[in-house]
Amino acid sequence: KSGLITIDQGFKNTGSTTSAITFLDGELGILRYRGYPIEELAEKSTFLEVAYLLIYGELPKKDTFESFKKDVTHHTLVHEDIKKILEGFPSNAHPMGVLSSLVCSLTAFYPESLDPNRSWDKVNLGIIRLIAKMPTFAAWAYKNEMGHPVIYPDNNLDYCGNFLKMMFALPADQYEADPVVASALDKLLILHADHEQNCSTSTVRIVGSSQASLYSSVSAGINALWGPLHGGANQAVIEMLEAIKEDGGNSKKWLEKAKDKDDPFRLMGFGHRVYKNFDPRAKIIKKAADDVLAKMGVNDPVLDIAKELEEAALKDPYFVERKLYPNVDFYSGIIYRAIGIPTEMFTVMFALGRLPGWIAQWKEMRANSEPIGRPRQVYVGEVERNYVPISKR
Contacts to ligand SDX by CB under 6 A: 10, 195, 198, 229-231, 233, 258, 266-274, 322, 324, 327-329
Q: Is 247 a catalytic residue?
A: no
Q: Which is nearer to ligand SDX, 140 or 254 (CB)?
A: 254
Least Å distance between CB 80 and ligand SDX? 34
Stated length of the chain: 393
Which DSSP string do the residues of 66-121 spell out, in sequence order? HHHHHHHHHT----HHHHHHHHTS-TTS-HHHHHHHHHHHHHHH-GGGG-TT--HH
Pair 33, 43: CB distance under 8 Å? no
> How near is the Cβ of 240 to ligand SDX at its closest, in Å?
10
The least CB distance from residue 113 to ligand SDX, in Å, is 25
CB of 57 to ligand SDX, least distance (A): 20
| H/E stretch holding 267 | none
Question: CB-wise, 218 or 258, nearer to ligand SDX?
Answer: 258
Query: Is the four-CA dihedral 327, 359, 158, 146 of positive or negative sign?
Result: negative
| Residue 305 beta carbon to ligand SDX: minimum distance, rounded to whole angstroms | 16
Q: Which of 376, 284, 292 is nearest to 9 (CA)?
A: 376
- Chain residue at closest Cβ approach to ligand SDX: 271
Catalytic residue (choose from 194, 230, 272, 316): 272
DSSP 8: -
Nearer to ligand SDX, 101 or 198 (CB): 198
Cβ(348)–Cβ(99) under 8 Å? yes
User: Toward ligand SDX, which CB reaches closer, 133 or 195?
Assistant: 195
Residues 230, 198: contact at Cβ < 8 Å? Answer: yes
* Residue 272 bears catalytic tag: yes
Which helix (H) or strand (E) element contains residue 24?
strand 22-25
Using the minimum distance from each CB to ligand SDX, give the nearer residue, 122 or 259: 259
Q: Cite the active site residues.
A: 272, 329
